[in-house]
C-alpha cells in the first residue's frame, strides 16, 4: 500500500547509517511500489557535495548494501531522481534557507536526525527557527538515546521544547525486525500460549543475542558504551518487554508502550552477584578487545549475562536470564521460554522428566521450535524422549519470504504513516536507563574488571555458573 507523499530530510545523509541502512531501506520500499510519485529524499550534511556527487555516492552504497543487480540500473536512476542534497551546518545558519526552498507544502515532512545526540538540540531548534515544521512533521532520532538517565532526560527535554511527543520517533531497530514483531503475533494471536505464559507454568526465560562481530570501526563509541549501554539497555530490554508485557487492549502506540513501560518499572534492581561481565581476548579470528581499542587497561565489557526479576503477579518467581556478547561462537538471537516439569510423572521417575520449551529464533534461521515429550519408539517399555516441533518461517512461508525485510524498511515507512507503535516513548527510554544506571554505577564503585573470554567461545565461564547455581543451564548458542 503506497504511503502518503513525503519529504524525508536526512541530516547526516553522508554518514555510515544513512548510506548502509536508511537509503538502501528506502530504495527497497521504492522498488516495492510503496512510494507516492511525489515522495522525495533530501539529504543534508556538512560536506559541500553537489547533488550529483551525492547521488553517485548513494548509487555505490546501493550496490554495496542493497544487493542491486546490473539489470536494475534503470530503477536505480529513477530512485536517484528523487534524491537531492543540501550542504548544511547543524550549528550555524548555513544551508537552512536553501533547505527551506526545497521543501514542498502539504506533504508529510520527516526530519531524520542521523547524527550524534549532541546535534539533536541544534537541529530541532533550527527546524523550528527556520519555520520548517508543519502540522505533519515528524522527527526521527537514533540510538544511543543518551548515555544515562540524566542525559536521556536532557535529550527528551530538548526535543520536547520544540516538538510534541506524538511527533518524536525514537528508533530501536530491533522493534522493526520481522521476527520481533512476530513475538507479539505469537503471544497475542494464539490461544495456545497465553494461558501458560506466567510463573505458574514457566520456570524461566532465556534471552540471548549472540554476535560474531567485534567492534571494528566503532572503537571510540564502544569503549564509552560497552555491552550494557549498547545492547542491554535497549535491544534486550525491548525483547524482555515484548515477552513479559500484559496483552494491550489494542495494537496501538500508547496501549503497547504503556504495557512495556509497566514491565520496565516492575524490574527489580539487579544483585551484583546476578550479573557477569566479560571482555573478549584474542583468538583465531582476531585480536582481543583491549588491543582493538588500543587501551591495555580497558574495563569496558563486550559481554553481559544477568538474571532479572519482573516483580508483578504474572512473573513473581520466574527469572529472566539475559545475555549478549560480541565475538561469540555464532550469530544467534533466540528467546527460550522454559516451562516447568509436569507436576507428577505417571510413568515413574525412571521414564525420565522432560519439560517443554518454546524457542523463538529471531535471527538467523527465523522460526519457532516447541520441544515436546513423546514415547521413545520401540518395545522397551514407556521411556520418554524430547522431539522438536519445528517451524522455520522460510519453509512455512515459501521462498519469497526467505529474507525478511530489513528493520529500517518497516520503521521508515511507519514514520511516514505516522505510526509510533514500534518506536520508543520518552518515558520508556528513561525507565530503561533508571534500571541500567545503578548496575553500571555499581561496577564503577567496585572497580569491577570484566572476565576475559576467548573469541569464538560462548562467553565467560562465570555465565555458566550464574545458571548452574540455580540448577539451570543456558540453551546452546549454535
Ligand atoms: C546495534 C549495536 O544497535 O545493534 C551494535 O550498536 C550491534 O553493536 C547491532 O552489533 C546488532 O544489530 P543486528 O541487527 O545485527 O542484530
State the distance from the centre of ligand 1 to the C-alpha of 209, rounded, in angstroms: 9
Q: Where do you find CATH 3.30.360.10 in the chain?
A: 175-406+425-468
Closest atom of ligand 1 to CA, residue 143: 3
Tell me the per-residue pLDDT of 341-358, one tens digit each, with 9 for 90 and over: 998 889 888 887 789 999
* Across 79-86, average pLDDT: 97
Enumerate the CATH 3.40.50.720 domain ranges in the chain, comma separated: 6-142
Q: Which of 170, 207, 213 to mutate to test ligand 1, by most ligand atoms within 8 A of the CB atom? A: 213
Asked if 42 contacts 8 with a C-beta cutoff of 8 angstroms, the reply is yes
Q: For all residues of the chain together, what is the average pLDDT?
A: 94
CATH of domain 175-406+425-468: 3.30.360.10
Considering only CA atoms, which residue is closest to atom 6 of ligand 1?
230
Distance between CA 368 and CA 339 in Å, rounded?
15
For the question of residue 235 being annotated catalytic, the response is yes
Q: In terms of Cα–Cα distance, which of 338, 325, 305 is closest to 209?
A: 325
3-class SS of residue 171:
coil
10 has a pLDDT exceeding 80:
yes
Separation of CA 231 and ligand 1 centre (Å): 7
Which residue has the CA at smallest separation from atom 15 of ligand 1?
A: 211
Share of the chain above pLDDT 70, in %: 100
pLDDT in tens, 211-254: 999 998 899 999 999 999 999 999 999 999 999 999 999 999 99
* Average pLDDT rounded to a whole number, residues 7-30: 96
ipTM entry: 0.99
Rounded to an integer, the average pLDDT of 138-147 is 94
| Residue 60 pLDDT greater than 80, yes or no | yes
C-alpha cell at 394: 522460510
Reading across the β-sheet that carries 6-11, which strands appear in turn? 83-87, 40-45, 6-11, 108-113, 137-141, 168-170
Q: How confident is the model at residue 365 (pLDDT cuts 50, 70, 90)?
A: confident
User: What is the CB-side half-sphere exposure of residue 459 using CA atoms within 13 A?
Assistant: 31
Torsion-angle region of residue 86: left (phi > 0), alpha (psi -120 to 50) or beta? beta
**CATH code of the domain occupying 6-142:** 3.40.50.720
Ligand 1 centroid – CA 119 distance (Å): 22
Q: Residue 315: is its pLDDT beyond 90?
A: yes
User: What does the DSSP 8-state code read for residue 478?
Assistant: -
Q: Among residues 204, 235, 274, 309, which one is catalytic?
A: 235
Give whole-number Cα distances, 373 to 350, 376, 381, 386, in Å: 15, 9, 15, 5
pTM of structure: 0.95
Residues in contact with 347: Cβ distance below 8 Å, sequence separation at least 6, in sequence order: 382, 384
Per-residue pLDDT of 98-113, as tens digits, reads: 999 999 999 999 999 9
pLDDT tens-place string over residues 370-382: 999 999 999 888 8
Q: Which residues line ligand 1 (CB under 6 A)?
A: 211, 213, 230
Which residue's CA lies nearest to atom 2 of ligand 1? 230
Cell match 513501560: residue?
261
326 is in an annotated binding site: yes
User: 143: annotated binding-site residue?
Assistant: yes
Amino acid at each position: 500500500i503506497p504511503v502518503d507523499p513525503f519529504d524525508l530530510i536526512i541530516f547526516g545523509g553522508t554518514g555510515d547509517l544513512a548510506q548502509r541502512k536508511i537509503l538502501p531501506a528506502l530504495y527497497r520500499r521504492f522498488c516495492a511500489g510503496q512510494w507516492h510519485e511525489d515522495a522525495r529524499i533530501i539529504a543534508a550534511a556538512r560536506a559541500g557535495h553537489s547533488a550529483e556527487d551525492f547521488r553517485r555516492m548513494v548509487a555505490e552504497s546501493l550496490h554495496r548494501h542493497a544487493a542491486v543487480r546490473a539489470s536494475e540500473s534503470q530503477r536505480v536512476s529513477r530512485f536517484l531522481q528523487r534524491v537531492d542534497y543540501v550542504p548544511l551546518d547543524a550549528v550555524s545558519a548555513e544551508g537552512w534557507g536553501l533547505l527551506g526552498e526545497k521543501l514542498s507544502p502539504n506533504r508529510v515532512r520527516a526530519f531524520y536526525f542521523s547524527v550524534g545526540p549532541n546535534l539533536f538540540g541544534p537541529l530541532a531548534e533550527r527546524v523550528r527557527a527556520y519555520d520548517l515544521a508543519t502540522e505533519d512533521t515528524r522527527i526521527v532520532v537514533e540510538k544511543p538515546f543518551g548515555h544515562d538517565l540524566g542525559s536521556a532526560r536532557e535529550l527528551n527535554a530538548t526535543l520536547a521544547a520544540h516538538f510534541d511527543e506524538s511527533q518524536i520517533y525514537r528508533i530501536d531497530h530491533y522493534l522493526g525486525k520481522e521476527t520481533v514483531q512476530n513475538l507479539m503475533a505469537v503471544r497475542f494471536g494464539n490461544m495456545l500460549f497465553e494461558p501458560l505464559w506466567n510463573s505458574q507454568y514457566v520456570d524461566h526465560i532465556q534471552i540471548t543475542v549472540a554476535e560474531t562481530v567485534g567492534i571494528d570501526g566503532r572503537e571510540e563509541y564502544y569503549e564509552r558504551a560497552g555491552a550494557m549501554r549498547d545492547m542491554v539497555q535497549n535491544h534486550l530490554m525491548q525483547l524482555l518487554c515484548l515477552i513479559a508485557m500484559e496483552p494491550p487492549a489494542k495494537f496501538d502506540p500508547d496501549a503497547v508502550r504503556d504495557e512495556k513501560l509497566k514491565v520496565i518499572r516492575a524490574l527489580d534492581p539487579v544483585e551484583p552477584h546476578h550479573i557477569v561481565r566479560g571482555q573478549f581476548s584474542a583468538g583465531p579470528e582476531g585480536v582481543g578487545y583491549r588491543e582493538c581499542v588500543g587501551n591495555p587497561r580497558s574495563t569496558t565489557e563486550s559481554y553481559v549475562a544477568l538474571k532479572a526479576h519482573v516483580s508483578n503477579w504474572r512473573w513473581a518467581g520466574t527469572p529472566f536470564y539475559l545475555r549478549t556478547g560480541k565475538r561469540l561462537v555464532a550469530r544467534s538471537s533466540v528467546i527460550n521460554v522454559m516451562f516447568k516439569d509436569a507436576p507428577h510423572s505417571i510413568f515413574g521417575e525412571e521414564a525420565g522428566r522432560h519439560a517443554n520449551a518454546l524457542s523463538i529464533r529471531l535471527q538467523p534461521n527465523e522460526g519457532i521450535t516447541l520441544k515436546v515429550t513423546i514415547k521413545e519408539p520401540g518395545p522397551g517399555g514407556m521411556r520418554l524422549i524430547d522431539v522438536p516441533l519445528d517451524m522455520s518461517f522460510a519453509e512455512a512461508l515459501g521462498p519469497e519470504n526467505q529474507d525478511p525485510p530489513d528493520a529500517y524498511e518497516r520503521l521508515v515507512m511507519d514514520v511516514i504513516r505516522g505510526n509510533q507503535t514500534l518506536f520508543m516513548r520518552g518515558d520508556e527510554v528513561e525507565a530503561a536507563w533508571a534500571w541500567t544506571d545503578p548496575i553500571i554505577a555499581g561496577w564503577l564503585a567496585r572497580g569491577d574488571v570484566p572476565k576475559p573470554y576467548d573469541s569464538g567461545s560462548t562467553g565467560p565461564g562465570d555465565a555458566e555458573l550464574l545458571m548452574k547455581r540455580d540448577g539451570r543451564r543456558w540453551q546452546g548458542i549454535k
